[in-house]
Amino acid sequence: STPILTLNDGTKIPQLGLGVWKMPDDEAPGIILSALNAGYRHIDTAAAYGNEAGVGRGIAESDVPREEIFVTSKLWNDRQGYDAALRAFDETMDKLGFDTLDLYLIHWPMPAQDQYVDSWKALIRLREEGRIRAIGVSNFLPDHLERLIEETGEAPAINQIELHPYFQQSKQREVHAKLGIATECWSPLGQGEALSDPILTEIASRYGKSAAQVILRWQVQLGLVTIPKSANHDRMRENISIFDFELTEAEMAQIKGLDSAEGRIGPDPATAKF
């Protein structure tokens, strides 16, 4: 079963979860039930995905107790600022139908808006009130992380960033390690792009595994949290069946060699516009 990592505030998080970006709200309950059946106990959603209600409904309808499922959501860009973030969090909780959230992230730093420190203060308050177990950020660059720590004395528990074999974020991971921040991978499979890579498929064939499983195993062995997205029950099962083999150091090094300066798929956090 999925290993559990301990974050800098003592919160425990299953190292592998299900991403639900682009899943329609009305399909989310079925997808969530399917994921829980496959053994997932960690779901990653966001206000911007428009499926918090469906995710909450799927969890409510399942036989798995709410407290056994780790749920993440995220504050969208147009709700940043202290008061706005508090209100946005209330709406997220209404949609999910939960009393407490496991992890809440600021979705993007949006440095031109210059509100992320105030948003962060709102998240600290919500955690102190017991409404969120752990707080973190997504797509924050080292400058943004350092500013949060400087202005509030509180480091995020986690930073969720684009990370896959073609965009490995080594420098950013070093900064996280230094600051005690866990790294979580979004688009861990490179949105499917890396799945036909000859090196990955060759490694996969040695273990009777798929390239997707090799990528996720690589992330787990690096100590990262990863949230592959799939709406298909067989692929969900495939993606969580990675705890029965181990990549060698040589294979880890081979995968390291796939990193590319041009590998980014998503927006650059310094300049992103939505």
Q: Which residues bind ligand A2P (CB under 6 A)?
A: 19, 187-192, 195, 210, 212, 228-232, 235, 238-239
Catalytic-role residue among 40, 49, 104, 116: 49
Closer Cβ to ligand A2P, 104 or 186, answer by number: 186
Cα(215)–Cα(165) distance, rounded to whole angstroms? 7
Nearer to ligand A2P, 143 or 234 (CB): 234
Query: Residue holding tokens 């924050």?
Result: 140
226 three-class SS: strand
Angle at which helices 52-61 and 82-96 cross, to 10°: 40
CB of 4 to ligand A2P, least distance (A): 21
Q: Which of 25/118 has CB closer to ligand A2P? A: 25
Query: C-alpha dihedral over 274, 90, 119, 176, to 10 degrees?
Result: -80
Rounded CA-CA distance 42/168 in Å is 23
Q: For the stretch 92-130, what's the b/e string if a residue is b when 16 or more beta carbons lie within 10 angstroms of its beta carbon?
A: bbebbebeebbbbbbbbbbbeeebbbebbbbbbbbbeee
**Residues in CB range of 52: below 8 A, 6 or more apart:** 45, 46, 73, 92, 95, 96
First to last CA, the chain: 37
> Smallest distance, Å, CB 92 to ligand A2P?
22
CB of 221 to ligand A2P, least distance (A): 18
Q: Does residue 116 have an active-site annotation?
A: no
User: Residue 244: CB partners within 8 Å, gap ≥ 6?
Assistant: none
State in angstroms the smallest separation of the CB of 121 from ligand A2P: 31
Cβ-based burial of 222 (10 A; exposed 0-12, middle 13-18, buried ≥19): middle
| In the complex, minimum distance from the CB of residue 145 to ligand A2P, in angstroms, rounded to a whole number | 23
Nearer to ligand A2P, 177 or 265 (CB): 265
Of 55 and 189, CB closest to ligand A2P: 189
Provide the annotated active-site residues. Answer: 49
